[in-house]
């Protein structure tokens, strides 16, 4: 158990629908990252939050949005779903320390989204 | 956006052989991370590197932070079947920023 909790583990839905993926970071980690991994592909960075505020944005579609709440959990909202949105969505958390400190990503087990 | 290149893309080796893979970038990173991902699972951190020239081991795994800060290397010695998986490198330009991932090296170990 990595300490990063993602729900749901599996989700099957239809095109045009909207889903919400949830992530609870590891205790003490302030930063949350979302990544998308399509079949046999690498990890594509979507968005990063630090202590409730958006810090960086990657290749996130306008149909997707995210937020980090005061208790530091994060949600990724995917709307108007298309077949191509089927993928594994990973959340990762990190504690942001200064130079020389431990600054690594810890991943959750992922949420597998299937759009039919 | 920033791209990381990993080579080889995939490799098939015999059990007991040593493995070498690398990750290169066109820009400088302050942190390099190496992850392993098994099917249906999230990536698991293998080694973290924070300083140019740093050489760090984790059991049979050894990784190095290139002195140019634009590359990193991962070696696996005496491979075993459970080494099978996809190995990703990830780089971070500055502390607190997002991590960029390479496309991965898919390792298959033949008994």
Task: List the single residue in A42, A100, A106 with the smallest CB-CB distance to B50.
Answer: A100
Q: What is the pLDDT of residue A1?
A: 84
The half-sphere exposure of B106 on its side-chain side, counting CA atoms within 13 A, is: 7
pLDDT band at A102 (very low <50, low <70, confident <90, very high): low
Q: Which of B31, B44, B103 sits opposite A42 (nearest CB)?
A: B103
Asked if A104 and A111 touch (Cβ cutoff 8 Å), the reply is: no
CB atoms within 10 A of CB B45: 17
Nearest Cα of chain B lies from the Cα of A105 at a distance, in angstroms, of 8
Q: What is the pLDDT of residue B5?
A: 94
Question: Between residues B25 and A2, which one has the greater pLDDT?
Answer: B25
pLDDT digits (tens, 9 = 90+) for A67-93: 999 999 999 999 999 999 999 999 999
Cβ contact (<8 Å) for A43 and B101?
yes
CA proximity to A83, closest of A116, A59, A111: A116
Across the interface, of A33, A44, A104, the residue whose CB is closest to B45 is A104
Per residue in B21-59, pLDDT (tens digit) is 999 999 999 999 999 999 889 999 999 999 999 999 999
Strands (E), chain A: 5-7, 10-13, 19-24, 31-37, 44-50, 53-57, 64-68, 74-78, 87-94, 106-107, 111-115
8 A C-beta contact, residue A115 and residue A86: yes
Q: How far apart are CA B34 and CA B53, in angstroms?
A: 15
CB-CB contact of A91 with A73 (8 Å): no
A-chain CB neighbours of B46 within 8 Å are none
Pairing of strands B61-65, B71-76: antiparallel
Residues above pLDDT 90, as percent of chain A:
78
A98 contact B CB<8A: yes
pLDDT at A98 over 60: no
Mean pLDDT, chain A, whole residue set: 92
Give the residue from A106, A23, A6, A110 showing the smallest Cα distance to A71.
A23
Confidence of residue A41 (pLDDT cuts 50, 70, 90): confident
Chain B CB contacts of A97 below 8 Å: 95
For chain A, say whether B93 makes contact (Cβ under 8 Å).
Answer: no
> Does A103 lie at the interface with B, CB-CB under 8 angstroms?
yes
User: Nearest to residue B90, comparing CAs of B104, B76, B77?
Assistant: B104
Residue A59: per-residue pLDDT:
85
Per-residue pLDDT at B95 exceeds 80: no
Beta carbons of A99 and B30 less than 8 Å apart? yes
Residues with Cβ < 8 Å from B82, sequence gap 6 or more?
Answer: none
Long-range contacts from A47-54, C-beta under 8 angstroms, 24+ separation: A47/A76, A48/B97, A48/B98, A49/A74, A50/A96, A50/B96
Mutation for testing the A interface, residue in B2, B29, B34, B43 having most A CBs under 10 Å: B43
């Amino acid at each position: 158990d990595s300490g990063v909790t993602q729900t749901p583990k599996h989700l099957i839905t239809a095109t045009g629908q909207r889903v919400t993926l949830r992530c609870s970071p590891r205790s003490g980690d302030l930063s949350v990252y979302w990544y998308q991994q399509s079949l046999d592909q690498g990890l594509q960075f979507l968005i990063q939050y630090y202590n409730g505020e958006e810090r960086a944005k990657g290749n996130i579609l306008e149909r997707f949005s995210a937020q980090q709440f005061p208790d530091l959990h994060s949600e990724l909202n995917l709307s108007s779903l298309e077949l191509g949105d089927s993928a594994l969505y990973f959340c990762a958390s990190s504690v942001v320390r200064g130079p020389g400190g431990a600054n690594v990503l810890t991943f959750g087990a992922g949420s597998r989204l299937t759009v039919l | 956006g920033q791209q990381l290149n990993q080579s080889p893309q995939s490799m098939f080796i015999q059990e007991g052989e040593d493995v070498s893979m690398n990750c290169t970038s066109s820009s400088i990173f302050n942190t390099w991370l190496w992850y392993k991902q098994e099917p249906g699972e999230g990536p698991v951190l293998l080694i973290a590197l924070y300083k140019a020239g740093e050489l760090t081991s984790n059991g049979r795994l050894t990784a190095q932070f290139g002195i140019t800060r634009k590359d990193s290397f991962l070696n696996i010695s005496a491979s075993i079947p459970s080494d099978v998986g996809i190995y990703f490198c990830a780089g971070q330009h500055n502390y607190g920023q997002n991590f960029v991932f390479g496309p991965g090296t898919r390792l298959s170990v033949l008994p």
